[in-house]
Amino acid sequence: MIDNKNLKNFEPIHASDIQQAQARISSEIAPTPLQFCPRLSQDTGFQVFLKREDLQDVRSYKIRGALFGITNLTPEQRGSGIVTASAGNHAQGVAYACRTMGIDGRIYVPEPTPKQKRDRIKVHGGDKVELIVTGANFDEAAAAAHKDAHDTGAIVIEPFDARDTVTGQGTVAAEVVSQLSAIGKSLDTIVVPVGGGGLAAGITSYLADMSPHTGIVGVEPAGAASLTAAFAAGGPVTLETVDPFVDGAAVKRVGDIPFQILAANTDRLQWATVSEGSVCTELLGLYQNEGIIAEPAGALSVAQLRELDLAPGAVVVCVISGGNNDVLRYNEIMERSLVHRGLKHYFLVNFPQEPGQLRTFLTEILGPNDDITLFEYLKRNNRETGAALVGLELGSAGDLPGLLDRMAQSRMNCQHLQPGTPEYDYLVASK
């Protein structure tokens, strides 16, 4: 049950506010494409369109809210300088605005922010922006930014928990409705990634006025489900920990303003969580099939697509929220996807120290389509046995039961390491 008494007083955002924002920022950013996706449409039976916010100049929708918020500052406020905190995408929008408008800015990002995002912040901001890396997550970086603003009098440009930011993000929905109308279609459902909630709240605000029949699905990573926790608690709560992998949505606490908007629209809103492994699988699918370079948060919407219970032929839009991905992360993305799909497994194998045991493992235990991807001898326990960490990639997830049966029948002691356990994290995660 949502207790509205615990939510701050807030003036609702209407479609007219978002249309004004659209007019304000249209001189700086062009509408992003809305592309029909034949593959996902065939897979699901829906008419699936992708809203390509990864094609913004800063490769993320975040430029919308950042630009609108900064254009609303008075000359005196601009002279005081700008401070913001971000996981990386909002920072690029702020950096872009600082450079083009000649405003000094300081941008705080957490330590897990990928190098690619840090480098792009510097490029967009030039000599007008100072980048400060601090804190283990977004919330710690945000605390540092607010302290800076308190100490110096700089103006905070919030990444999601501010009316101007939410209003700017709502221009995504204004474009989607217009683009579908131009081809004679109306929007049945839109699937939106959720971190702090600003994008979902802006889209919901616009559709509530202009397309009230449209369903909205907010999708969070399982390791940072702050909106789900807020609805369970009746208001925003701070998660104890978050998994930073989906960095664009790794927020410990959904914004107060976004939550109030979403809580007022539960009749048209659904929310869901998806595993990080599922996100990786869909991210790779977008790259290999559509040539879309999405970041993990950018693939959240597609990761939920196959779980939607909609009529055949429903018009569904998935927001590809960002494309700031570091190529150095692809090994980890591949690994997480393989584990999620049941194709990658790790074992501690205690080999009898006798000639031919490795050959026996290869010929009598492994299946014909199984590959060894890791073989690391750990230590010799005694004269009879020696343990090895073995990584296997299976030809099919259905091959696992047979493999486990053959291991159980062998003389080798084989321990199947399970993701999320201490031994898995200790032995595998660091590889």
| pLDDT above 70 (res 383) | no
Q: Which residues are catalytic?
A: 62, 321
Apex 167 CA angle, 163 and 170, nearest 5: 145
Q: What are the CA-CA distances from residue 96 to residues 57, 192, 201, 300 (Å)? A: 9, 24, 24, 25
Q: Give me the pLDDT at residue 379, please.
A: 56
Nearest-angstrom CA–CA distance, 394 and 154:
55
On the CB side of 402, CA atoms within 13 Å amount to 13
Nearest-angstrom CA–CA distance, 170 and 198:
8
Nearest-angstrom CA–CA distance, 49 and 176:
10
Q: Which two tokens stand for residue 241?
A: 């920990």
DSSP-assigned states of every residue in 299-347: GHHHHHHTT----TT-EEEEEE-B----GGGHHHHHHHHHHHTT-EEEE
Q: Which two tokens stand for residue 323?
A: 């494309």
What residues have CB less than 8 Å from 320, skipping those under 6 apart?
A: 50, 51, 52, 53, 54, 286, 292, 294, 298, 299, 301, 302
Q: What percentage of residues in the chain have a pLDDT greater than 70?
A: 95
Q: What are the CA-CA distances from residue 286 to residues 5, 123, 339 (Å)? A: 43, 27, 18
| pLDDT above 70 (res 429) | no
Nearest-angstrom CA–CA distance, 142 and 358:
53
What residues have CB less than 8 Å from 354, skipping those under 6 apart?
A: none
Confidence of residue 380 (pLDDT cuts 50, 70, 90): low
- Structural domains present in the chain: 4-61+165-335 (3.40.50.1100), 63-163 (3.40.50.1100), 342-427 (3.30.70.260)
| pLDDT above 70 (res 378) | no
Summarize the confidence of residues 376-402 as an average pLDDT: 83
What residues have CB less than 8 Å from 274, skipping those under 6 apart?
A: 219, 220, 221, 222, 300, 303, 304
What residues have CB less than 8 Å from 83, skipping those under 6 apart?
A: 105, 106, 107, 108, 145, 146, 148, 149, 152, 154, 155, 156, 157
**Computed from CA positions of residues 285, 290, 293, 297, in that sequence, does the dihedral angle turn out positive or negative?**
negative
Q: Which two tokens stand for residue 256?
A: 């107060």
On the CB side of 296, CA atoms within 13 Å amount to 35
CB 227 within 8 A of CB 260: no
pLDDT tens, residue by residue, 127-177? 999 999 999 998 899 999 999 999 999 999 999 999 999 999 999 999 999
Tell me how crowded residue 200 is: count the other CB atoms within 10 A of its CB: 33
Question: Average pLDDT of the chain?
Answer: 93
Summarize the confidence of residues 5-13 as an average pLDDT: 66
Counting every residue written for the chain, the total comes to 431
Q: Give me the pLDDT at residue 326, please.
A: 86
Summarize the confidence of residues 207-218 as an average pLDDT: 97
| pLDDT above 80 (res 377) | no
Tell me how crowded residue 46 is: count the other CB atoms within 10 A of its CB: 23
| pLDDT above 50 (res 7) | no
Nearest-angstrom CA–CA distance, 219 and 373:
33
Nearest-angstrom CA–CA distance, 26 and 388:
59
Q: Give me the pLDDT at residue 218, please.
A: 98
Least trusted range by pLDDT, from 9-13, 59-63, 316-320: 9-13
Q: What are the CA-CA distances from residue 191 to residues 6, 93, 220, 247, 318 (Å)? A: 28, 23, 11, 19, 5
Q: Give me the pLDDT at residue 87, please.
A: 83
Nearest-angstrom CA–CA distance, 378 and 179:
58
